Structure 1
């Protein structure tokens, strides 16, 4: 789905320009996204298998919930909207723990360039997998995987069919989830 988004400079600052998402991807213009990683208190992480019709990385496993931030949209509002759309879950804003903003550059083709700043959050998941409602057009499947298995599989991203984010990004995610788990026990 195409939508109007804010355009950023290479340092993540607003440029006071907007464009359609398709135009930003075609021209390699920086823009904002949200990433929300859900984890369970018994040490599992929720992964989303991207839809088979996605332009990039179809059917690869990825962050629990992700999406573009609309032009002028509040980052938290965007995160809550994406969570509800993609997995049918409504949570309170105070359940989101922001762990950083990560710059990501992927040149998929000459007409498709993802130049993004991921506003990244963690949130505890208190429902079972069966209680989540996946968005059919975006999400092929959902699964919970033990953190130690996830960490081990990140050693061979392509074999386990994960989206090829920077390994430093994945390392930050696993480290921060582990911290949350340590303080919750």
Structure 2
């Protein structure tokens, strides 16, 4: 879906301009996204398998919920909206803990350049996996994986990130370390 985004500069500051997502990706214009990592008190992390039709990283496992911040939308409201859309869960802003903003620059090819600032949150998952309703055009599958197994798969396999979206190791390490403090 093409949506209107607020364009930001290379430091994450508003420029006062907007562009459609397709144009922002085509020209490599910086914009904001939200990443929400759900974890359980049992030490599991919720992972999303991206849909087969995605332009980037189809069928790879990724953050529980992610999406673009719409023009004029606050980061928190965007996170709440994306959670509802992608996994059918209603979450209040008070249940989102922001753990950082991560700059990401990915040139997939000449006409798809993802220059984004990921506003990243944690939230405790308090429902069963079966209670979640995945958005079919965005999410192929959902699974819970122990944080220790997730860390092992990311950092001790011979082919690093082979099944996962290749976010930076610093990003993954920050997310994992912060989740561990919640357990």
Under a length normalisation based on structure 1, what TM-score does the superposition of the two structures give?
A: 0.96
Residue in structure 2 matched with residue 175 of structure 1 by the alignment = 177
Is 1:147 aligned with 2:150?
Answer: no
Aligned counterparts, 1:1-185, within 5 A:
1-155=1-155, 156=157, 157-159=160-162, 161-181=163-183
**What's the Cα RMSD here?**
0.6
Q: Spell out, residue by residue over 1:130-154, the C-alpha distance to the aligned partner (whole angstroms, 9 max, x if none).
A: 0000000000000000010001111
SS in 2 for 1:55: coil
Q: Which aligned segments of 4 or more residues in structure 1 are displaced greater than 4 angstroms? A: none
Taking the aligned partners of 1:140 and 1:113, their CA distance within structure 2 comes to 24
Give ranges in structure 2 of 5+ residues lacking alignment.
Answer: none
Taking the aligned partners of 1:179 and 1:62, their CA distance within structure 2 comes to 21
Deviation, 1:158, is 3.3
Deviation, 1:180, is 1.2
Taking the aligned partners of 2:138 and 2:147, their CA distance within structure 1 comes to 24
**Cα contact 2:26–2:112 (8 A) shared by 1:** yes
Taking the aligned partners of 1:3 and 1:36, their CA distance within structure 2 comes to 20
SS in 2 for 1:149: helix
